């Protein structure tokens, strides 16, 4: 099973801010969420993490000394919008961003670019996940891209999904096609 875990809460997440490559630490609640997830989920054969500290801190609850860091699971680069409230993004930019997967916010990264790197990572993990549980600790955009991969849908589907802090998604990779079993489960 490919088990995708969104990192625990940070102050930016609690405030509803766009939090891309900025790297605030987990809050006390975020640390408790990480420990609770590690206790509730099956013991994985592999633990993979985004390189960002909030994801690595969450992953450490699963395997403190055996976390594999994979850059492909890092959060989307929001460029100059990093740290902004969605309500502070002008309407024209927001409309373009949510309808054009190739749109790149100033200094940032497109949804298409996120999808390409995450699909590659998913394909590489699929065989191991078919034999045992593989936990990937990541962020909203990469996890939504993995869900789009599993469902065989366009990356813009991400804008129609809500993934909670410490939310868990499960993708069964044992068949011919991946199957999404759970989305944003509290673990």
> First-to-last CA distance in the chain?
14
Q: How far apart are CA 5 and CA 184, in angstroms?
A: 9
Give the mean model confidence (pLDDT) for residues 158-182: 97
Q: How far apart are CA 176 and CA 178, in angstroms?
A: 7
> Any idea which residue has 């991969």 for tokens?
149
Asked if residues 26 and 7 have their Cβ atoms less than 8 Å apart, the reply is: yes
Query: What is the model's pLDDT at position 133?
Result: 97
Query: What is the model's pLDDT at position 70?
Result: 98
Which token pair is 55? 């994801």
Domains and CATH numbers, the chain: 2-185 (3.40.50.1240)
Give the mean model confidence (pLDDT) for residues 164-185: 97
pLDDT tier at 52, thresholds 50, 70, 90: very high
Percent of the chain with pLDDT over 90: 96
> Any idea which residue has 């309808």 for tokens?
99
At residue 64, does pLDDT exceed 80? no
Q: How far apart are CA 58 and CA 126, in angstroms?
A: 22
pLDDT tier at 63, thresholds 50, 70, 90: confident
Query: What is the model's pLDDT at position 103?
Result: 97
Nearest alpha-carbon partner for 159 in 119, 79, 103: 103
Asked if residues 45 and 134 have their Cβ atoms less than 8 Å apart, the reply is: yes
Q: SS3 for 165?
A: coil
Q: How far apart are CA 69 and CA 47, in angstroms?
A: 9
Query: What is the model's pLDDT at position 187?
Result: 74
Query: What is the model's pLDDT at position 167?
Result: 97
Give the mean model confidence (pLDDT) for residues 113-117: 98
pLDDT tier at 65, thresholds 50, 70, 90: confident
Nearest alpha-carbon partner for 164 in 16, 27, 1: 16
Question: Residue 86 carries which DSSP code?
Answer: G
Note the pLDDT tens digit of each residue in 24-35. Answer: 999 999 999 999
């Amino acid at each position: 099973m490919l088990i995708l875990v969104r990192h625990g809460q940070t102050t930016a997440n609690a405030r509803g801010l766009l939090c891309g490559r900025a790297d605030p630490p987990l809050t006390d609640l975020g640390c408790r969420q990480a420990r609770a997830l590690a206790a509730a989920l099956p013991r994985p054969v592999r633990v993979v993490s985004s390189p960002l500290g909030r994801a690595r801190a969450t992953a450490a609850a699963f395997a403190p000394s055996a976390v594999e860091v994979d850059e492909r699971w890092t959060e989307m680069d929001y460029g100059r919008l990093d740290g902004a409230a969605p309500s502070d993004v002008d309407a024209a930019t927001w409309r373009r961003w949510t309808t054009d997967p190739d749109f790149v916010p100033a200094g940032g990264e497109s949804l298409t670019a996120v999808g390409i790197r995450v699909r590659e990572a998913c394909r590489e993990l699929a065989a191991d996940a078919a034999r045992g549980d593989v936990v990937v600790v990541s962020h909203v955009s990469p996890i939504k891209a993995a869900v789009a991969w599993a469902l065989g849908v366009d990356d813009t589907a991400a804008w129609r999904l809500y993934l909670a802090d410490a939310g868990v998604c499960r993708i069964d990779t044992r068949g011919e096609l991946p199957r999404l079993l759970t989305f944003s489960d509290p673990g």
